[in-house]
Amino acid sequence: MIPQSLQDIHEIPVEFVDLVKESVINTFASIIGSEPSYIKPNGESKSLNGIIGNIAVFNQHHTLSLMIVIPKETALKLSEVFIGMEIPFESNDMGDLVGEISNILAGDVAANIETVGFRGQSSLPTATRGSDLTLFMPNKPPTEKMKFSGPTGDFWVNMALSESR
Amino acid sequence: MGKVKALVVDDSKIMRSAVKRALDQLMLAEFEYVEAMDGQDALDKFDDEIEIMFVDWNMPNMTGVEFSRAIRDKGDTEHIPIIMVTAEKSMGKVDKALNEGGANEYITKPFTADKMHQTISRYFDDDGNIIGEETEEEEEKSFFSSILKS
C-alpha cells in the first residue's frame, strides 16, 4: 500500500516494480510470442532514434506513469509481428501501434497492481516520435528505468510514481 | 453464407484492422464492416441493420461501456451481441462491462483468432447468420419445445 503523500518516498516500492516488470514480460510475450528478458540497467543514457508510448494508470491519490521507449529498429520488427507486415516508421499507423501496445501494457499493469491495493484506471495513450530523443526522468517523484531485450530487439520501460492532482 | 453487418469500434485503426482480419479468418460469416473511432462516432453510425458489435473500452469522447449502455437503453437491441474487445482485464472491469454496459462477451487484447472463435462462434448458425440472444419468451418457448420433444 502506498502512503497518500509521497513526500518521503524516494523509490517506487519494489512490489510495484516487480509487478510492472511481470506485466511487461507477459504483455510482450503475448504480442511477440516469446518472453523478453529483463536486463539490469547499467546507468547508460544515450539519445534515441525511436518512438515513446506514454500512458498512466491513475486513481484519485496517485498516478503511475509509464513510458515505453522503443528504438526504430525494434518498432519496425514489432509492427511486423503485430500486424503481419512492416509499417513505415514515420506513418500515423506506427504511432497508433505504439499507442495500442502502451494501452495493452497499462491494462495488464492496472490488473496486476490492483492485487497490492492500487485500484486505478488507464489514461488514453500518446506516442512521441523523433530522432536524437533524450528522455529526462523527473527529479522529484520516485522513478524506475527497466531495460528489456527480446526477439524484436531492445526496449525500455520507464515509470514514475506521483501524487494525482 | 449469410452476410452479417458488424460494427467495429476502436480508436486505433490498427486494432480495427486486427478485429476485421480475425473475423475474416474465422469464416463464420461474410462480414460487411462499419467502423467507428469512438463511442460517439459509433452511436452516430449505429442503425437497425447492425447485427453484431465489437467494442473497445478506453476511447476518447465516449467509452465503450457508455456506448454499450446507450445502445441497450434504446430498447429492442438485446438481440444484438456486443463483444467488448479491450485491454482492461481486472475482474471489476469485466463485471462492469457485462453488467453496467450490457455487453455479452469480453475479450482481452491482444487476442488470437482462436480466442475470438471460442467467444463468438455460438452467435452464428451454420449458414453464417447471427443467432442473437434469446428473449425470455423465446427461451420459454424453446424450453417447452425441448420438453415436448423428450
Query: In chain A, which residue's Cα lies nearest the Cα of B85?
Result: A104
Q: Is the ipTM of this complex over 0.90?
A: no
List the end-to-end C-alpha distance of chain A, in Å, as a whole number.
19
The whole-angstrom distance between A35's CA and the closest CA on chain B is 15
Q: Report whether pLDDT(B141) > 80.
A: no
Residue recorded with cell 478485429: B19
Which of A92, A119, A124 minimises the CB distance to B58?
A124
A1 vs B28: CA distance, rounded Å? 47
Q: Of B82, B87, B50, which is closest to residue A31 (Cα–Cα)?
A: B87
Calculate mean pLDDT across residues A154-163: 93
Beta carbons within 8 Å of A156's beta carbon, 6+ residues apart: A67, A68, A69, A145, A146, A147, A148
Using a cut of 0.90, tell me whether the model's pTM lies above it. no
Query: Residue B54: pLDDT band by 50, 70, 90 thresholds?
Result: very high
Query: Chain A contact for B109, CB < 8 A?
Result: yes
Residue with cell 475479450: B107
Comparing alpha-carbon positions, the chain A residue that sits nearest to B18 is: A83
Residues 6+ apart with CB under 8 A from B68: B53, B55, B82, B84, B97, B101, B102, B103
- Chain A residues with CB under 8 Å of a chain B CB are 30-31, 82-84, 92-93, 96-97, 99-100, 103-104, 106-108, 110-111, 114, 119, 122, 124
Averaged pLDDT score across all residues of chain B = 88
pLDDT (tens digit per residue) in B84-135:
999 998 888 888 889 899 999 999 999 988 999 999 999 999 889 998 655 5
